[in-house]
């Protein structure tokens, strides 16, 4: 069974519908006893880092996530669930989970490309350049695009954990991978067939 962590950060229904569409059993919960029975965890979210971390701490889910990672079980982070796995977020100057060392940074206000000034948040379809192969991205072609909605992006301290890179005025880390954790800034559940393929892959992934 897959558990979707409910920490009042929204976006749970779209993840649930995506899992339902690929025939995967799941539960949405903040109950640690139920989470402990899961085979793998999805950690999605939208909203503000400060409020999200307050909700996680109030339920004891911050410590629980550290223990989950130590057990070597699969964890998938999505959007806000990717940003707050780092040590610190510039949003609300928030101390975060620290599952991966680094800072979540805000896009500069003066981003431009060859078409002119870019809007913040970064919203819409964009490419991800993978730096190496990973089982969660099996059968995803290089030209695939994914749906982004964000004003902040992860900047890990160790570049070795960067799996995917995306350009939006600047190059930024859009996918992280370390041991049994993989996390992406885009929304696979809103990214059509390739996003669903990522979810299928995660549901079969057995980290070594």
pLDDT tier at 175, thresholds 50, 70, 90: very high
* pTM for this prediction: 0.96
Q: What pLDDT shows up at residue 105?
A: 98
Q: Where are the domains of the chain?
A: 2-204
pLDDT tier at 115, thresholds 50, 70, 90: confident
pLDDT at position 17 over 80: yes
pLDDT at position 116 over 90: no
Q: What pLDDT shows up at residue 35?
A: 98
Q: What pLDDT shows up at residue 208?
A: 82
pLDDT tier at 113, thresholds 50, 70, 90: confident
Cα(173)–Cα(130) distance, rounded to whole angstroms? 10
pLDDT tier at 9, thresholds 50, 70, 90: confident
Average pLDDT over residues 78-97: 97
Active site residues per annotation: 79, 187, 189
Kindly report, residue by residue over 102-112, the tens digit of the pLDDT. Answer: 999 999 998 98
For residue 7, how many C-alpha atoms fall within 13 Å in the half-sphere facing its CB?
30
Alpha helices in 22-160 (DSSP H): 32-35, 49-59, 61-70, 80-83
- Of 79, 67, 191, 188, the closest CA to residue 136 belongs to 188
Q: Span 2-204: which CATH code?
A: 3.40.50.880
Mean model confidence pLDDT for the chain: 96
pLDDT at position 79 over 90: yes
Average pLDDT over residues 166-176: 97
Average pLDDT over residues 151-178: 97
Average pLDDT over residues 7-25: 93
- Of 86, 63, 205, 20, the closest CA to residue 4 belongs to 20
Kindly report, residue by residue over 42-73, the tens digit of the pLDDT. Answer: 999 999 999 999 999 999 999 999 999 999 99
Which helix (H) or strand (E) segment is 101 a member of? none
pLDDT at position 10 over 80: no
């Amino acid at each position: 069974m897959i558990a979707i962590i409910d920490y009042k950060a929204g976006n749970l229904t779209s993840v649930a519908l995506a899992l339902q569409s690929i025939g995967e059993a799941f539960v949405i919960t903040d109950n640690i006893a139920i989470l402990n029975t899961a085979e793998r965890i999805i950690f999605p979210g939208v909203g503000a880092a400060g409020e999200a971390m307050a909700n996680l701490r109030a339920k004891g889910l911050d410590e629980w996530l550290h223990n989950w990672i130590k057990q070597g079980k699969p964890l998938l982070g999505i959007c806000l669930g990717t940003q707050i796995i780092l040590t610190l977020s510039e949003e609300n100057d928030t101390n975060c989970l620290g599952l991966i060392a680094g800072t979540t940074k805000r896009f500069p206000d003066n981003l431009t490309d060859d078409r002119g000034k870019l809007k913040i948040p970064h919203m819409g379809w964009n490419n991800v350049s993978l730096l190496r192969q990973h089982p969660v991205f099996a059968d995803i072609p290089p030209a695939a695009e994914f749906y982004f909605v964000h004003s902040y992006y992860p900047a890990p301290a160790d570049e070795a954990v960067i799996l995917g890179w995306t350009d939006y005025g600047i190059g930024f880390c859009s996918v992280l991978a370390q041991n049994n954790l993989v996390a992406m800034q885009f929304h696979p559940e809103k990214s059509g067939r390739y996003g669903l393929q990522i979810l299928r892959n995660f549901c079969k992934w057995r980290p070594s």
